[in-house]
Every structure is written in structure tokens, then in C-alpha cells.
Amino acid sequence: MNKIELLEIIEKGEDSFTEFKEEKVHPDKLAAEIVAFANTESGNIIIGVSDDGEILGVTDFDKEMQRIDNICVNNCEPTIYSTIEKVIINDKKILIVKIPKGPQRPYRTNRGIHYIRTASGKRIASPGELRLIHQASGAIYYDEVPAPNTSIEDIDIGYLDEFLKKSLGSGIKDFGIKTADLLKNMKILIPYERDMVTTTGGLLFFGKHPEYHLSYCKVTVVRFPGNDIGEKFEKRDIEGKLVGQIERTESVLKDYLRAETKIEGFKKEEPHYEIPIESLREVVINAVAHRNYQLPSQIRIFIFDNRIEVKSPGKLPNTVTVENIKLGFPLHRNPLIVSFLAKEHRMTEIGTGVPRMIRLLKEHTGREPDFEERDQEFIVRIWRSDL
């Protein structure tokens, strides 16, 4: 960062990604700021500038840099690795401490406090925010956590039996163990506060009525006339088991797609849709498999005249990027749900579906889909074409 860039940042003041600190700031206070940035979206701590933007400088570059390094090691758990840049403005020495978004989140101070960064500074993370950080970093998988107030009675045993026969060739009785033990082995049941409850993934995949406990875990399809969100629309909510959601969503999407059917002789061919059904199916399956089930929001599919947008709750997890998934990088947010879908032969676990979906759309419509992260959503935008 050069002198002009730094002066512009100081002039703008503190924000979500910038914090000013004077020299000799107390180690506990500096550790709290470092932890907050590492737990959130990264940021810069500018040492030698007061809260109101006055440039005060530091006395000794090397001593202050060593002190900051020691704070990152001794006052942050686990250690946070920062980079420090020196800048001189009007003979005043300034340090820019760059804190990355940490790969070992969540971080805490050596006093055991987890902080996160906000637009107005920092604050202590709530239990819910900590769970989100754990999940985003891959420390826990939300589809394997307990679903309170559930039991084996919430599992559709007949559906599970058919699933096992189709995927493994053996029904429940063929395993020679108690049904409850089989469900524990499959991570469908889990101990919780002296009871056996379902896991979130087990309930969503095999539950009789998962919507009774997780009402937001559904797909909402909305058709807007024109190319913008308006007051007039048609809406359908799709609930139930995940496989049922996938199948019914595909059926609803077909109702809104343009299609042509050829009849040769007495034979009627399958409809030829404006968008390859395989590509839409892939997007829907990925949304169901990889959405963030901790966020209380449904998958939303908006259908416009010129495009279809699939909005999935949650950003891409951890180090996964849009470019990663275009190249076939597999996601690992909900491994239990993914494993069940793979056993149903509805998806692979190696990330090949997205590259194939991109190729199909490009061949059929002449245009690749758009991928976008916005706030707490991941959006796939598919462009429609004339038949």
C-alpha cells in the first residue's frame, strides 16, 4: 500500500475492514481486534493512527512489529499469522497489520472470548454465529448435528428399507441388528441430552414429515412475468423428504419451460425443452445437497422470461470459490446428505456435475450460467433461449 492509498483510507475512517489503533495499545485490546478480523472477512489494523484519524506514528518499527507478532502468538488461540507493512507519512511511521480470514476459525483471545467484526467495530460472537463459523470452516457438519424434539418415531422406516434395498441390495432385517442401532450406524440417530434423536440430515432425508421440525428446509418456486421481480407472481412451496423435493421441483420447472414435441408416425417423442432438464436437475440437486441448513431460509427459484435464478442459502464454504466449482472442486458442507444422494445415484461425490452442467448449457443455449455470491446466498443464473 502506498502513501496516497493509506491517506485515502485514513480519511474515510474506520469501517468493517479497517481499524485504527495508537501505539502501545493494550495487548488484550489488540488481540480482540485481530481475532475479530480473523473470524470474519479479514481486514487491516493501522497502528499509529488515533480513532478520529489523527496520524500519530509509532516510535520504533521493529519493536512494535515484534510486539504485534507476540500478541498474534500469545494472545490469540490458535495463532493468527498476520503480515505487516511499513509506511512513512510526513516523517510519521505507520504499520499496516493485515489480518487474513483465518483457516482455523473460530479464533478466540487467550481470555477465551470469540469476537467478530461488524460495521461499527467488533462484538462478542453469539452461540449461533459461532456455529456458523464452525460450519463454514469445516469444523462441524450441520447435517450431522442433533435435531431436538425428534425421535426414531419421526423416521419413515418403510422408506428407509426401500432406500437400503435399492442402494445396497439388503433391507433392514438383512443387517441382523436392531433398527435403532442401524440408524445410529448410518448417522440417522444420535444421542442428545440422554435421548436418541435424529440428525438434521437423517430427518431431512428419511423423516416422515421433516417440515414439522424444519419448516424452512423447502424449495419455493416463483414465476414472475417479465424480467424483474414484481407484485404479480405465481408461487409454489415444495416440502417433504429431500428426494421428493428434488423430484417435485423438476416437475414444477417443466411446467414453466417452453417445449416442443415431435410426432413421427404413431410415436410421440419426449418433449424437447428450451433448457436441458439434466442441467436444471443438477442445479436443484446441488442446491438441496450443499445449501446451509443452519440458515432459516428456503431455496428460492425465480423464473423470469429471460432467465431462471436458483438462490441457495449460504455462501460457499471455507476455501471453495466460484472458479473451484467450475473446475469440478467438490463441496463438503453436508457430507451425510451428499452420501445419501450418492447412494441414490442422484449425484457423485467428486464434483463432476457442475462442469457437465456448464457444458450442456453452453451447447444448448450458447451461454454459460452465471454464479454469484451475494450476502448469505449463492446464486446460479441460467439464461433461457428460444427453441
DSSP 235-304: EEEE-SSHHHHHHHHHHHHHHHS-EE--EETTEEPPPEESS-HHHHHHHHHHHHHHS-TTSS--EEEEE-
**Mean residue pLDDT across the chain:** 91
Same domain membership, residue 356 and residue 260: yes
Cell numbers at 175, concatenated: 443387517
With beta carbons less than 8 A apart as the criterion, state whether 241 and 210 touch. Answer: yes
Is residue 172 in some structural domain?
A: yes
What pLDDT does 1 receive?
81
DSSP 64-104: HHHHHHHHHHHSEES----EEEEEEETTEEEEEEEE---TT
Same domain membership, residue 114 and residue 43: yes
What pLDDT does 329 receive?
77
Give CA–CA dist 252/266, Å, rounded. 28
Domain count, the chain: 3
Any bridge partners for residue 121, and if so which? Answer: 118
Spell out, as residue ranges, where the chain has pLDDT lower than 70: 135, 137-140, 262-268, 318-319, 349-351, 386-387
Look at residues 140, 165, 200 and tell me which one is the last residue of a structural domain.
140
Same domain membership, residue 332 and residue 232: yes
Same domain membership, residue 103 and residue 242: no
Distances (CA, A) of 168 to 174, 285, 373: 11, 21, 37
Look at residues 140, 157, 175 and tell me which one is the last residue of a structural domain.
140
Is residue 9 in some structural domain?
A: yes
Same domain membership, residue 277 and residue 263: yes
What pLDDT does 350 receive?
66
Structural domain containing residue 284: 219-383
Give CA–CA dist 179/156, Å, rounded. 12
Same domain membership, residue 125 and residue 151: no
Distances (CA, A) of 61 to 51, 64, 91, 114, 197: 20, 5, 13, 29, 57
Is residue 204 in some structural domain?
A: yes
Same domain membership, residue 231 and residue 364: yes
CATH code of the domain covering residue 346: 3.30.565.60
Is residue 213 in some structural domain?
A: no
Same domain membership, residue 260 and residue 170: no
Cell numbers at 342, concatenated: 450418492
What pLDDT does 205 receive?
98
CA dihedral 334, 335, 341, 344 (to 10 degrees): -160
Is residue 267 in some structural domain?
A: yes
What pLDDT does 265 receive?
61
Look at residues 181, 208, 235 and tell me which one is the last residue of a structural domain.
208
Is residue 214 in some structural domain?
A: no
What pLDDT does 250 receive?
97
Same domain membership, residue 132 and residue 86: yes
Give CA–CA dist 59/235, Å, rounded. 64
Distances (CA, A) of 191 to 114, 140, 198, 287: 27, 16, 9, 28
Placement of cell 473470524 in the chain: 39
Residue 325: left if φ>0, alpha if ψ -120 to 50, beta else—which one? alpha
Same domain membership, residue 186 and residue 124: no
CATH code of the domain covering residue 45: 3.30.950.30
Is residue 7 in some structural domain?
A: yes
Same domain membership, residue 351 and residue 289: yes
Same domain membership, residue 339 and residue 224: yes
With beta carbons less than 8 A apart as the criterion, state whether 158 and 114 touch. Answer: no
Is residue 136 in some structural domain?
A: yes
Q: ∠ at Cα 212 (125, 168), nearest 5°?
A: 95
